[in-house]
Amino acid sequence: MSLVISNGLVIDPANNLSGICDVLIEDGKIKEISTALQGDKVLDATGLVVCPGLVDIHCHFREPGFESKETIASGSRSAARGGFTTVVTMANTNPPIDNAGLVELVIRRAREEACIHVCPAACATKDLKGSEITEMADLKAAGAVAVTDDGRDISSSSVMRHALDYAGMVGLPFLSHSEDEALTAGGAMNEGYCATLMGLPGIPKVAEDIRTDRNIRLAEIANAHIHIQHVSTAASVEIIRQAKKRGAKVTAESAPHYFSLTDEATLNFNTNAKMNPPLREKEDVEAIIEGFKDGTLDCIATDHAPHTQTEKRVEFEVAPFGIIGLETSLALTITHLVNPGHVSLEKAVALLSPGGARVCNLNAGTLTPGVSADIAIFDPQEKWTVLSEEFASKSCNSPFVGATLQGRVRYTLCKGTVVYSAS
């Protein structure tokens, strides 16, 4: 059985392709990209963009241990609704993914229950305690695509250096949550005017900046690939920029909320605007946008972090950090990066798909003939309102509920099969 996606604007940054043409799919793989192609079935994509399935290298599916927030099954449906066909899940589950058996568990659950490709990251230290390094060679052999203690930073510089040594030796990227917890302890939001106005303890920017610099410099000593997660400050963007100029093996991501919101979004004590790192200030938003424009930041990642309504409907100071983001990422990118003219639509697709795939060495983010037919088809012009009841995620903790955004996924295909359709 063959399928032709016809008359769409095909954007494939990995192959420098952007033009109106057809995509032929056979046996779940890309067969050919050309014009006037024939197939057993036709999906008319006139007026729509056809691109490689989006790739998110930073999301939390909460399984095992926190299935009330999200599961591999529900998380994959949420991803598909957002146009994502490949995701990297974080290891701070319960128990943490710190041994080969748990890596295999995630892979098996994904094979059985997910509608997209789910690639697990594993812990850099045992039980996320930052003291004893995991058996990274075993983790890689079991299927882990990266190591990380996401949710925490490794406080000991010695342990961090040796963890980077090991990661570099086995060829796994180290996904770094860069945060000095001694400086952030007790903080609820960005340290600044809004925190003072609300009477809330602040999280200083320098807590991120000093660890971004430390972790990159330790990676340079180890000659390891370090990836800086959820960059939120202007200073961290500049630190990464200078490190790249030095030749450091560093890549970096930021999330849509960091280029679309400031800490003013918390002024009504909306706990759905509480995340870590916190929303920062206007100059930080501008720096992050510039980082995407000049290549300092390599990809957009969501840090999709579901929490139940019960957990979030409490006082701001005690609410958990984190928001969901898979279903709004593309639209926020179009609304806040493409529409204002910061980046082209082609650049946006590059940041959302092959950018993340390259960081974690994933076989994704391209429409090259012969690869799995993982495809997102979206309307770049369609405006829609974010409604909590429409989320495919088990959670609805998003600061964008009620917002009108532009750009909507119409179809998502994984291995040639439609796993999401808006119609």
Interatomic CA distance for residues 193 and 171, integer angstroms: 43
Express each pLDDT in 115-147 by its tens digit. 999 999 999 999 999 999 999 999 999 999 999
CA dihedral for 54, 57, 60, 65, sign (positive or negative): positive
Q: Which residues does residue 253 pair with via DSSP β-bridges, in sequence order? A: 299
Query: Alpha helix (H) ranges present in 51-99?
Result: 72-81
Express each pLDDT in 81-120 by its tens digit. 999 999 999 999 999 999 999 999 999 999 999 999 999 9
Residues of the chain with CATH 2.30.40.10: 2-48+407-421
Residues of the chain with CATH 3.20.20.140: 53-368+380-403
What is residue 91's predicted lDDT score, i.e. its pLDDT? 98
What is residue 140's predicted lDDT score, i.e. its pLDDT? 98
Confidence of residue 305 (pLDDT cuts 50, 70, 90): very high
What is residue 54's predicted lDDT score, i.e. its pLDDT? 99
Residue whose pair of structure tokens reads 């679309």 in the numeric block: 260
Amino acid at 44: D
What is residue 326's predicted lDDT score, i.e. its pLDDT? 98
Q: Which residues does residue 254 pair with via DSSP β-bridges, in sequence order? A: 300
What CATH superfamily is the domain 2-48+407-421?
Urease, subunit C, domain 1 (2.30.40.10)
Residue 346 parent element (H or E): helix 345-352
What CATH superfamily is the domain 53-368+380-403?
Metal-dependent hydrolases (3.20.20.140)
Q: Which residues are catalytic?
A: 303
What is residue 3's predicted lDDT score, i.e. its pLDDT? 97
DSSP letters along 194-256, please?
A: HHHHHT--EE-THHHHHHHHHHHHHHHHHT--EEE-S---HHHHHHHHHHHHHT--EEEEE-H
With 0-12 CB in 10 A as exposed, 13-18 as middle and 19+ as buried, what is 59? buried
Confidence of residue 1 (pLDDT cuts 50, 70, 90): confident
Cα–Cα–Cα angle for 374, 377, 381, nearest 5°?
155
Express each pLDDT in 324-383 by its tens digit. 999 999 999 999 999 999 999 999 999 999 999 999 999 999 999 999 999 999 999 999
Residue 404 phi, psi (nearest 5): -100, 120
* Mean pLDDT rounded to a whole number for the chain: 98
Q: What CA–CA distances, in Å, run from 144 to 8, 119, 134, 225?
A: 35, 7, 12, 15
- Residue 278 gets which letter from DSSP? P
Interatomic CA distance for residues 358 and 396, integer angstroms: 30
What is residue 423's predicted lDDT score, i.e. its pLDDT? 79
Residue whose pair of structure tokens reads 């960059």 in the numeric block: 231
